[in-house]
Structure 1
Amino acid sequence: MTNNKLEAKINDYYGQTKSGQEIDGFSPFKYQKEVAQTILNGENLILQAPTGAGKTLASIMPFVIGNEEKIDFPKKLIYSTPRRTLVNSLYTDIYDEINQGNFDKEFDVTLQTGEKKEDRYFSGDIIFTTFDQSLSSALSMPISLSKRLGNVNLGAVFSSYLIFDEFHLFDLSSSYTTTTLLLEKLKDKIPFCIMTATISRERIQYLADKLDAKIIRADKPEYLKDIVTQQGKERKIFIRNNSLQAKKIINLHNQIENTDADQSKKSIVMCNRVENAKKIYDDIKELLEKNNEETDIMLIHSRFLDKDRNMKERKIKKMFSKDNKQSDVILISTQVIEVGIDITSDIMHTEISSIDSFLQRIGRCARYRNQKGQVYVYDVLNEGDKKYLPYDRDVTVKTFEALEKIDGQVLNPELSQEIINEVYSEETNVDALANEKIDNSTDDFILKSWKNPDKSQFKDLIRHVIACSVVIKKWIVDKMSPYNYQSLSISPWTLRKKLKEIDNDTDDWLVKEVIERDDDSDFKYTYRAVDINNIYPNNLYILNPDYFSYNKEKGLQFEEKNKEIEFDLLPYSAREFDYDEQYNEESYLQHICRIKDEVRDLEIEMNYLINFLKEKFNLNDGDFRNIIEFTIWSHDLGKLQDEWQLAHKKSKYEFIAHAERNNKPPSHAAESFWVCLSLLEDFVLDYLNKDGILIDIIGKSIISHHSINLTRVDKYNISKVAKNYLLNINAKFFTEDSLINFINEGIDRLYLNSRASEDISDEIRLKTIEHYLFYFSLVRILRLADQRATKKLNQFEEEVI
Structure 2
Amino acid sequence: MSSIEALFSDLIGATNAAPYSYQLRCAQAIQQGKNVIVCAPTGSGKTWAALLGYLHSRQIGQPFVDRVFYVLPMRTLANSLYRSVQDSCKQVFDVTSLPEEKRYHPSKLAVTIQTGERKADPFFEGDIIFTTIDQLLAGYLNIPLSLPAKLSNINAGALLGSLVVLDEIHLLDPSRSLATIVEMAERLAPYVQFVVMTATMSSNAVQALQQHLSAEVITVSAEELAIMPSHKDKRRRYVWTGSPVTAAQVLTHHNNGRTIVICNTVARAQGLYRDLKDVLHPGCQLFLLHSRFLKQDRQAVEGQLMRYFGPNAQETNAILVTTQVVEAGVDISADNLHTELCPANALIQRAGRAARYPFPRNTGTVWVYEPEVDQQGRYRLGPYRDRLSAAAIERTRQAIAAQNGNILGFAEEQALVDLVHGKAESEVFTAIFADNARRRREVSQAIDTADRSKIVDLIRHVDSIGVIITDTPETIDLSRLPELLSVPRTSLYSAFNTMTGCGAPGEWFAKIPRIKETDGQVTTVEWHALTVGNELKMAEWLIAISPRFARYTADIGLELGVPGPVPQVPANEIQPWTPYHFEYEPFKDHVIKVVEEARHEAKRSVCARYRLERHLGLPPRFAEHLVEITCALHDTGKLLKQWQQAALDWQQRFYPEQIVEEGSPVAHTTFRPEAGDIEKQRLMHLTRGPHAAEGAFAVSKALGRYFDKHFHDEEIIGGIWKAILTAIARHHSSQTQTVGRKLSFIADAASCLNAAVLAAGLDIMVDELIVPIQERDGENFKRALISAEEHYVWLPLYWFLVRRLRLADQYATKMTGG
Q: Distance in 2 between matches of 1:297 and 1:700?
A: 58
- Of the three residues 20, 25, 31, the one matched with 1:34 is 25
CA positional deviation for 1:527? 9.4
Residue 681 of structure 1, CA deviation:
3.2
For 2:418, the aligned partner's letter is: N
Identity %: 27
Q: In the alignment, is residue 339 of structure 1 matched against residue 328 of structure 2?
A: yes
Q: What is residue 701 of structure 1 aligned with on the other side? A: 727
Matches within 5 A, 1:159-558: 159-218=161-220, 220-253=221-254, 255-256=255-256, 265-288=257-280, 293-370=282-359, 371-383=362-374, 387-391=380-384, 392-426=389-423, 429-442=424-437, 443-464=440-461, 467=464, 474-475=476-477, 489-494=486-491, 505=507, 510-511=512-513, 541=541, 552-556=554-558
Partner of 1:749: 769
Greater CA deviation, 767-776 or 351-360? 767-776
1:310-331 residue CA offsets vs partner (Å, 9 max, x unmatched): 3332211222124333322211
Are the aligned partners of 1:99 and 1:106 in contact in 2 as well (CA < 8 Å)? no
Contact map agreement 2:109 2:127 (CA 8 A) in 1: yes
Deviation at 1:709, TM superposition (A): 2.1
Q: Which residue of 2 aligns with 1:657?
A: 668
SS at match of 2:195: strand
1:122 partner amino acid: F
Give yes or no for contact 2:340–2:369 (8 Å, CA) kept in 1: yes
Whole-Å separation in 2 of the counterparts to 1:320 and 1:525: 48
Which range moves more in the overlay, 224-233 or 392-401? 224-233
In structure 2, runs of 5+ residues without a counterpart are 96-106, 470-474, 660-664, 672-677
Matches within 5 A, 1:81-96: 81-96=72-87
Q: Deviations 1:110-167 (Å, cap 9, x if unpaired)?
A: 1122212222211110011122221222222223333333221111122211111112
Match of 1:54 among 33, 41, 45: 45
Q: CA separation in 2, counterparts of 1:508 and 1:359?
A: 39
Question: 1:687 and 1:543 mapped to 2: Cα distance?
Answer: 61
- The secondary structure found in structure 2 opposite 1:129 is strand
CA distance in structure 1 between the aligned counterparts of 2:707 and 2:477, rounded to whole angstroms: 49
- With over 3 angstroms needed to count, the CA separation of the structure-2 counterparts of 1:685 and 1:49, relative to structure 1, is same
Q: Measure, in 2, the Cα distance between the counterparts of 1:153 and 1:771.
A: 17
**How many residue pairs are counted as aligned between the two chains?**
749
Provide the C-alpha distance between the structure 1 equivalents of 2:752 and 2:524, rounded to a whole number of angstroms.
41
Given the superposition, is the C-alpha separation of residues 498 and 316 from structure 1 closer, same or farther in structure 2, using an over 3 Å criterion?
Answer: same
Range that drifts further, 172-181 or 328-337: 172-181
- Selected match of 1:669 from 678, 692, 695: 692
**Higher mean C-alpha displacement, 686-695 vs 393-402:** 686-695
Distance 1:188 1:668, change over 3 A: closer
Residue identity opposite 2:416 in structure 1: I
Name whichever of 295-304 and 32-41 sits farther off: 295-304
The question of whether the paired residues in 2 share the 8 Å contact of 1:303 and 1:555 is answered with yes
User: Take 1:145 and 1:530, find their aligned partners in 2: how far apart are those partners?
Assistant: 29
- Counterpart residue identity of residue 48, structure 1: C
Q: Specify whether residues 298 and 9 from structure 1 end up closer, same or farther in structure 2 by C-alpha distance, changes over 3 A only.
A: same
Task: Give the Å deviation of 1:229.
Answer: 1.5
- Which sits farther off after the overlay, 230-239 or 355-364? 230-239
Instruction: Give the Cα separation in 2 of the matches to 1:545 and 1:320.
Output: 36
Distance 1:566 1:35 in 2: 47
Measured in 1, the distance between the counterparts of 2:594 and 2:508 equals 52
2:610–2:620 Cα contact (<8 Å) kept? no
Give 2:769's aligned amino acid: R
Q: What amino acid is aligned across from residue 62 of structure 1 in structure 2?
A: G
Deviation at 1:580, TM superposition (A): 0.6
TM-score (norm 2): 0.82
Deviations 1:227-284 (A, max 9, x none): 221121212222223323233323432x34xxxxxxxx21111112222222222332
Counterpart AA for 1:613: L
Confirm or deny: 8 A CA contact 1:512 1:542 kept in the other structure.
no
Instruction: Return the offset for 1:453.
Output: 3.5
Quick one: distance in 2 between partners of 1:649 and 1:48?
A: 64
Decide which moves more: 554-563 or 278-287: 554-563
Deviation at 1:78, TM superposition (A): 0.3
Answer yes or no: is 1:763 the counterpart of 2:784: yes
| Superposition pairs of residues 546-695 of structure 1, within 5 angstroms | 552-556=554-558, 560=564, 563=567, 565-569=569-573, 578=577, 580=579, 582-620=581-619, 623-641=622-640, 644=643, 646=646, 649-650=650-651, 651=655, 652-653=658-659, 654-660=665-671, 661=678, 662-663=681-682, 665=687, 666-686=689-709, 691-695=717-721
1:67 aligns with 2:58: yes
CA-based RMSD of the aligned residues comes to 3.8
Return the alpha-carbon distance in structure 1 between the equivalents of residues 537 and 158 of structure 2.
Answer: 29
Mean alpha-carbon deviation: is it higher for 371-380 or for 275-284? 275-284
**Contact conserved, 1:717 with 1:754, CA < 8 A, in 2?**
no
- Paired with 2:601 and 2:522, the residues of 1 have a C-alpha distance of 29
With the length of structure 1 as denominator, give the TM-score of the two structures: 0.83
Q: 1:386 to 1:138 in 2, by over 3 A?
A: farther
Q: Which amino acid aligns with 1:388?
A: L
Looking at structure 1, the residues matched to 488 and 793 of structure 2 have their Cα atoms a distance apart, in angstroms, of: 37
Which piece of structure 1 moves more, 498-507 or 662-671? 498-507
Which one-letter code corresponds to 1:156 in the other structure?
A
* Whole-angstrom CA distance in 1 between matches of 2:553 and 2:600: 43
Deviation at 1:174, TM superposition (A): 2.6
Conservation of the 8 A alpha-carbon contact between 1:512 and 1:530: yes
Structure 1, unpaired ranges of 5+: 1-6, 257-264, 518-522, 796-801
Contact 1:174–1:460 (Cα < 8 Å) also in 2: yes
Secondary structure at the counterpart of residue 365 of structure 1: coil
Q: Equivalents in 2 of 1:507, 1:424: separation in Å?
A: 42
Q: Determine the C-alpha separation between the residues in 2 that align with 1:273 and 1:40.
A: 42
